Each structure stands twice: as structure tokens, then as C-alpha cells.
Amino acid sequence: MYASSLLVAVLRCLLVLGLALSVPVALATPHIQHWRMDNGAGVYFVEAHELPMVDVQMVFNAGSAYDGTHPGIASLTNALLDEGAGKWSADTLADDLARIGAHLSTESLRDMALVSLRSLSQPTTLASAADMMAAVATEPTFPPDACERERAHTLVAISAGDQSPSSLASRAFFKAVYGAHPYAHPSLGDAASVAAITRDELVDFHHRYYVGHNATVVIVGDLDRMAATALAVRVAGGLSAGEAPAPLPVVAPLGARASLETIHFPASQTHVLAGQPGAWRGDPDYLALYLGNYILGGGGLVSRISEEVREKRGLSYAAYSDVTPMRVAGPFVMGLQTRNEKVEEARQVLQQTLERFVQEGPLDAELQKAKENITGGFALRIDSNSKVAAYVTMIAFYGLPLDYLDHFKENVQAVTVAQIRDAFQRRIDPAHLATVVVGGN
């Protein structure tokens, strides 16, 4: 009897605890605290005690846009950070992380390079994990054998991309849209450049870009402000101050660079990508372009492109459009795969659907449905520490207002049909697209 009553009491407590933990996630946006360290690194902190976990991200302006004359060096540098750092070899680092149940990873994109950590918030565990993260970010040793091994892996990945029609299309598309801009080349680089990168050049890249004035630290989890301050110093205090790199150049409109490129590839399906420079983070037109794109081709099977290309004509299983904001204008892209003999028809339908949308804009009912879908799923986007950390990283890295998430839903609701039509007519030019077709005939 006593055991049964105890079980019921425990279950009730767990139910109440579950409700208590779920309510803040569903209803509240994270409160972001911000300060700057002595070495110039910015720190962004969200206190979250629902779980005994801490997520830390160190973010650097050190993506492939900063490769310069060595395409692939940013990616290769980042991949080598955890192949030996401080007193740890790659094996001992992996063993020590596994022993305390922590997870550390690195990633390199076009705009940014990241070092990420997830750990229990128990003080001794977190301290050990933080020391390893600090070593990876500040003291990579770039062992010569690891450099050659990672170079070989990268060359294999580049070679595999040469055999993938989707990879070939993406590479050609970025080159056509961005020309001589740093966004034009693939983040992995090319085979010739990667083969020529020396260990000294990797070390120099790290010394130049992995510095305090080029770093942002994001902390989300089971800490108070004092503990978060100490953690930030522990993971990033060893960075030299250094200097932030010069801003990326502005992306020029396509204009006369609009093009149609055909790449022959033996396959039963042809890949088509078409687009131009789009929006940047903080762009005043971004929400209008975002909502408009959701209706045009970003909303899955209910979007106009899917309706015209897939549902009405059966030309493609999946057809879409996307607006990807970046440090400077990221790509607006439309894409599909279709049977080889239907390429021209599918491309024309894609073009005509864009032209009609730019000219007319969305219907009131389409916009209302898009708003409901976007705002209705908003709580799920911030329902875990890792998701909150990703959003805070985006806010911090791109210099968005700290209350960006607080006002996201109301800002979405405020967008009008007229604003979407105006933004698309000013920013998206159907007569000047870079189009890439990869497939067989």
C-alpha cells in the first residue's frame, strides 16, 4: 500500500515537473545577456535551468569567404582543430570527452567557423570539458600526419562531388551568381588548391582569424551569470586579441552576368538551379522576402512552384525556392530535378511562376496561411538548449537586436501583401537569373 502510494506521488511530481519544464519553453523567448571580454570576444548568455546541461559555441569570422588565395584553407584549418590541441592528441581528446560524457565538434561554413561543446553542468565535468574546448580553439598543434590525413579526406570529398550532379550544380550556381566574390568558390576548395596548402599556412590562418576581436562566445544552459562569466574566460580567455578582418565586399547584382550554363552528366534526371543574389542578415526586406518565398516555393507541397511544377504537370517530385541570408547578400535560388526530356518545359514553368509572383504578389489567403504556419511552429524552434544556442549564435554573429526572437512573431504578422510585392519587384529580377542545368540528354 505504502509503495503504491509512493509511486503515485512520484508520478504526480514528475507530471508537475514535466509541465513546469514545458511551459517556459513553449511560451517564453530566451533572455539574452551580453558583455565583452578583455581580449575583445563578445559573450552572449542565456540562463536555462530546465536541464543540467550547458551548450557553448565559439564562432569566428573564419569561414571560406576568408580563404583568400587558398580556397579550402578555412575548412581544412577548422577540421584539424581537434586533431591535436594543447596536451591532448586526437585520441586522448576523444577518450577524455567520452569519459565525462561531453561532445565537442567543429564546423566551417562560408561565413563562419565554429567550435561547439555540450556538457553536463556539474562543475568539475564542465571545467574539464571547457579546458578541452579552450585547447582546441586556442592551441591546435596541427600534427603533420593529421594534416596529410585530413587533406586526403578533403580531396576524396572533392572528388566525390565531381561525381554528384547536385554538387556540380551547386558549385556552378555559386560561381555564376557570385563571380569574383569570396562566396563564389566551394567551402572545401578545389583539388589543386587543397593539395598545395602547407602546414605553415594552416598555422598562419589560425593565428590570424582565431582571435578575440574575431570571436563570439555563446553560452546556453544551467549556469548563473557569475558562472557563465567564468566559463567564457575559461574557454576563450586564452585567445590573443588580434584584429577582426575587413568586411566582406558587397555582392553586385547579376546584371550582364545573368547566364545559362549546361553541364552534361550521364543521368536519367537533370538538376536545374536558377537564382541571383538575395538578402543579407539584417536586411530590411528580409521578412517580406522570407514570407514571399515561403508562398512561392519554400512552403513545401503547398507552395506555388510545387503546385505548378509537380501537381499540375508532374514534371518533378520536388521543386522549391529558398532565400538564404548571409553576412552579405546570400543566394535566392529555385531548384528542381526532372526527366531529361522535360528539362526545358520545367525550366520555363519555373521562370513563368517566378515572373507571375513578382508581378502580382501573393493572395491574402496565401499570406495568412504562411503566417499561421511560420508563427505556429515557432515554439518548436526554441524548445531545446541546442536550438536556442543556434538562434543566439545567429543573432550574435550577424549583429541582430538581442530582442530579435521576442518580436519575431509580431514582425511576421505585420508583413503585408503590398510589402511582399514591393520587395520582390525591387529585389528579384526574373529577367536576370543565373541558371545551371546538370544532366544527360
The pTM assigned to this predicted structure is 0.90
Q: Where are the beta strands (DSSP E) in 42-139?
A: 42-47, 53-60, 84-85, 88-89, 103-108, 113-120
Q: Which residues of 9-24 are buried (b: 16+ CB within 10 A; e: fewer)?
A: eeeeeeeeeeeeeeee
What span, in angstroms and rounded, lies between the C-alpha atoms of 28 and 406? 8
Task: Answer whether 157's CB lies under 8 Å from 167's CB.
Answer: no
Express as a percent the part of the chain with pLDDT over 90.
88
For residue 412, give the C-alpha cell. 511576421
Whole-angstrom CA distances from 325 to 218, 290, 333 are 20, 9, 12
pLDDT band for position 441 (cuts 50, 70, 90) = low
What span, in angstroms and rounded, lies between the C-alpha atoms of 279 and 332? 8
* Predicted confidence (pLDDT) per residue in 195-215, tens digit: 999 999 999 999 999 999 999
Sheet with 113-120: strands ordered across? 33-36, 42-47, 215-221, 53-60, 113-120, 103-108
Amino acid identity at 121: S
* Predicted confidence (pLDDT) per residue in 220-263, tens digit: 999 999 999 999 999 999 999 999 999 999 999 998 788 999 99
What span, in angstroms and rounded, lies between the C-alpha atoms of 175 and 318? 24
CB neighbours of 407 closer than 8 A, spacing ≥ 6? 401
What span, in angstroms and rounded, lies between the C-alpha atoms of 128 and 47? 20
What span, in angstroms and rounded, lies between the C-alpha atoms of 199 and 282? 37
**Could you write out the DSSP letters of every residue in 119-167?**
EE--HHHHHHHHHHHHHHHH-B---HHHHHHHHHHHHHHHHHHHT-HHH
Domains of the chain (ranges; CATH) run: 30-236 (3.30.830.10), 255-439 (3.30.830.10)
Average pLDDT on 298-308 reads 94
Average pLDDT on 346-368 reads 97
